[in-house]
Amino acid sequence: MVGGLYFALNNGGNPAYFVAGNIGFGVGLIACCVSTVALSSTKFLLIPSNSKNLKEGEKPKGCFSKKMSYVLIAIPIICTLIGLIFSFNLLRHTDKVPSLVAGFVLFGISLVCGSLISLVASVCRQIQNTFTNKERWKWSILVIVLGSINLILGVCVLLFSKNQTFIAPGYVLIGLGLVCYSISSKVLLLASVWRRKSKLSKRIPLIPVITALACLFLSAYLSEAELVNMAYFVPAHVMVGLGAICFTLFSIVSILESGTSN
């Protein structure tokens, strides 16, 4: 985050440094959110135990304190808000192409952080045994909505922008939407097996596989397109990285499926 802000603020008039700095700042925000996922997962073994042995509202032994749970959920919320504020500030400069490019990508990154709110909240609330049937699918729907916003915005940027500079952020937004869908697999899995058996839980890990393949197919298409137009060079390589992220989430979801299976 610090390095990204440094390059964004001290770019020496170089648009590449400005855009890369803002994107680096956004990646730092995602890293902060992921750290809360890792920290909240240190007590993951309580989830199947709570689901099987405790009634709703009973406090499990060894869970997080109430304040700690709030802090873990608050971190991705704060990161999401910071990212959205920065992105909207960049997007209001409609006459500056570098600001728009950085703003679109940072907005997409912020929605990935928003998706991680749902994951952290689901994990923490199940560890605390405060997860209710009323909210079972609400967190999953939130992630799917955020991913769809990224996907639709990316398509709109590609369709309605005549400037080739926006080819990269358009495809990156689509890729970030697919990452959100990959995150939704973890949230869906946690919701589907909480205090009940679900036959579809063994199929949920296929979601990140599908999104990873979609990213890689798009990358292959863009790699061919870059032979004609170099504007496709950056998105072609970025989509490979986003596909790798999706496939990494497949292994994590598979482990979660094994850990939560009855």
Domain limits, the chain: 2-260
Residues belonging to the chain: 262
The 10s digit of each residue's pLDDT in 156-209 is 999 998 889 999 999 999 999 999 999 999 999 888 888 777 777 778 888 999
pTM, entire model: 0.92
Q: How far apart are CA 3 and CA 59, in angstroms?
A: 42
Neighbour-count burial for 88-117, b at 16+ CB within 10 Å, e otherwise: eebeeeeeeebbbbbbbbbbbbbbbbbbbb
pLDDT at residue 260 in the model = 59
